[in-house]
Structure 1
Amino acid sequence: MNADFKILHDIFATELADPTLDLTPDTALADIPGWDSVNLSCVILGVETKFGIVFTPAQMDHLETVADFLTVIESGSKAAS
């Protein structure tokens, strides 16, 4: 398992308050139990904080799967100083 995926999984589990959450990179966000726009915002904020990145509006618009988060993380969009 990729280290970034493990961290991302932990962020999802924490924000959704579900330590038993079962995710794969192919998991569609819409298929996650209880998923809504508030959870999306919380996960984005958690990812930005943990990885020191900033999602662009275009990146946010294209988040449909867990793998989409990994793509943004791996692109390393660093926060502006």
Structure 2
Amino acid sequence: MVELIRSHLTEQSEPRSAAEVASTLSQAHPERGIKTTVVRTTLEGLVAKNQAQRTKQGSSVFYTAPGSTEQPATPANDTQSSKQAE
């Protein structure tokens, strides 16, 4: 399960919620009976080991692969704008 989730996050270009990850993996591996709660727990374990990153928007939590350049928050975009202006 850990490898499936890590691989899925690496393939994504933008952050995904635990529900989105669970849904996609369930469709790709219907024989596994993947549950959102298990995916969320696994994602949090990956975050604890610095193998995934967590971002929060309001009450929603999104996950990305470590080192991913896509961030949903605006401050990262502001930093890029500042660098371009220099």
Q: TM-score w.r.t. structure 2 length?
A: 0.35
Larger Rg: 2
The answer to which structure has the higher strand fraction is 2
